[in-house]
Amino acid sequence: MYRHEATRAITAQRAFGIVRAPTPAEAATAAGAVLDAGLDAVEVALTTRGATRAIEELTTARPGALVGAGTVLDATAARAAIEHGARFLVSPSLHREVIRTGHRYGVPVFPGVSTPSEMVRALEEGADALKLFPASVVGPSWVRDVRAALPQAPLVPTGGVTVENAPEWIAAGAVACGMGSALTSGGAGAAGARVAALLDALARAR
């Protein structure tokens, strides 16, 4: 799968899950729950101890799933995540070496941005999509205003996005939303119900 194909697949549902957990086993379980509930893509944050083991376990058990690594801060972390099967990389910040490492191995990278200047720089560096972080400090109307000037910016709001407000972000022009505890917490049953509600809401929002 080429980078552009992977990016399209990751954003096709207009949302992907973000998992942070105390152990790799718990991370794999939480990620598996949202994948089993119908979400196509999920990232495991590298702040999880043993996160790469969870990524490898998930990609081995679910070869068709789009499992990525989040909180990727440098080239070393990017390479390790890719070697363990990560199919996309997400960062809370903008680092050229993370983008270059991902692209060297054909993996899309979504760096973190929070201003129009950072968005332009990320696009110049070749970012595949832009993680708007933290989204909680702005709002959908901010995305709408920014995209009036930068319609080419593929924004992925993350941090503060919920099942209830995700459709508003998409309506404002975001290509997808990254969702953490608002989607994945509370066990498999609760997460599954949220995924179903989210996908239904996004389908109606389109």
Catalytic positions, written as ranges:
43, 131
What are the angstrom distances between the C-alpha of 116 and each of 40, 96, 143?
29, 17, 10
Exposure string of 12-47, with b = 16+ CB inside 10 Å and e = fewer, is ebbbbbbbbbeebeebbbbbbbbbebebbbbbbbbe
Q: For residues 185 and 198, what is the distance between their CA atoms, to the nearest angstrom? A: 14
Residue 5: exposure state from Cβ atoms within 10 A (0-12, 13-18, ≥19): exposed
Question: Can you tell me which residue has the tokens 């994945």?
Answer: 184
Separation of CA 14 from chain center = 10
Nearest Cα to Cα of residue 157 among 124, 185, 182: 182
Other CB atoms within 10 A of residue 195 CB: 24
Q: For residues 21 and 152, what is the distance between their CA atoms, to the nearest angstrom? A: 34
